[in-house]
């Protein structure tokens, strides 16, 4: 994938701009980077607070050729790329299904994938927010979030981070598009996430809340959870929360 960077000092949302460019027939590999977002978006309609020079606000246009059923793996592939980008700057992150990058349970990065029908076919825009410094965090997220500066005591530049990220994104996107791509991405994700199996979690979906233990991923990246009654649930979309206390066990 050929990477082209388009940078802005300030923008409403890099995802909005990338979706616009995709509809205007932009090629795969166009990346939008901004120093500030005035209307950054997170999942489930939440805001992604994006103060000036506090983070990397990045979106890439993709035009995937993989089978529709595997499109959901683009988010996992991006999680793997963000993970390895952070390792390169001295951080050991975890990936919480499906797309939260955490350090000691605090969020350092989030991923938002959105799609658009365009004259060149379906485009997927993947947005990545990585916290570079914490000093500008609003109080409401200060205790839930962390940053590269807080974890390593060093300040990396936005451009350096963008370059490392595009390197890993290109690499893992090629992996995804290869012969055994979907299987390999699930394998790569497994190696980097403590949530893959054996984790006690509560999962909130649109219509139910499930408590249980994670049991691997389906081939499309859906999360398998074994409930206390032994029933397996396959979660295609939902919010995962780690349970602090393990479910009570019967005494023997």
Q: How far is the CB of 39 from ligand BTN (least distance, A)?
A: 7
What is the pattern of x (binds ligand BTN, CB under 6 A) and - over residues 204-233?
------------------------------
- According to the binding rule CB under 6 A, does residue 106 interact with ligand BTN? no
Taking CA 195 as the corner, what is the angle to CA 226 and CA 170, rounded to the nearest 5 degrees? 130
What is the pattern of x (binds ligand BTN, CB under 6 A) and - over residues 116-155?
-----------xxx--------------------------
Peptide bond into 16 cis (omega under 30): no
Judged by beta carbon, residue 162 or residue 210, the one nearer ligand BTN is: 162
Give the separation between CA 245 and CA 82, rounded to whole angstroms. Answer: 29
Torsion of CA 92, 48, 135, 91, to 10 degrees: 10
- According to the binding rule CB under 6 A, does residue 111 interact with ligand BTN? yes
The terminus-to-terminus CA distance of the chain in angstroms comes to 58
Distance of CA 230 to the CA centre of its chain: 29
Q: Which stretch binds ligand BTN (CB under 6 A): 54-62, 131-139, 164-172, 220-228?
A: 54-62
> Which of 29, 40, 79, 181 lies at the binding interface for ligand BTN (CB under 6 A)?
40
Give the separation between CA 161 and CA 18, rounded to whole angstroms. Answer: 19
Binding site for ligand BTN (CB under 6 A): 13-15, 37, 40-43, 46, 48, 57-59, 100, 110-112, 127-129
């Amino acid at each position: 994938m050929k990477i082209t960077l388009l940078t802005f000092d300030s923008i409403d949302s890099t995802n909005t701009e990338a979706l616009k460019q995709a509809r205007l027939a932009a090629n795969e590999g166009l990346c939008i980077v901004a120093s500030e977002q005035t209307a950054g978006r997170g999942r489930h309609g939440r805001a992604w607070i994006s103060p000036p020079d506090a983070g990397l606000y990045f979106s890439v246009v993709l035009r995937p050729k993989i089978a529709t059923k595997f499109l959901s793996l683009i988010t996992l592939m991006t999680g793997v790329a963000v993970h390895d980008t952070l390792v390169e700057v001295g951080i050991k992150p975890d990936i919480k299904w499906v797309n939260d990058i955490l350090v000691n349970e605090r969020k350092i990065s989030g991923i938002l994938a959105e799609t658009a029908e365009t004259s060149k076919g379906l485009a997927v825009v993947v947005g990545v927010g990585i916290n570079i410094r914490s000093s500008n965090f609003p109080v409401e997220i200060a205790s839930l979030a962390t940053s590269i500066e807080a974890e390593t005591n060093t300040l990396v530049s936005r451009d350096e981070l963008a370059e490392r990220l595009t390197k890993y994104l290109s690499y893992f996107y090629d992996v995804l598009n290869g012969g055994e791509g979907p299987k390999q991405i699930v394998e790569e994700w497994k190696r980097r996430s403590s949530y893959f199996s054996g984790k006690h979690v509560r999962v909130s979906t649109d219509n139910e809340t499930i408590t249980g233990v994670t049991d691997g991923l389906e081939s499309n990246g859906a999360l398998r959870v074994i409930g206390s009654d032994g029933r397996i649930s396959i979660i295609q979309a939902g919010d995962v929360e780690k349970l602090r206390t393990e479910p009570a066990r019967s005494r023997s």
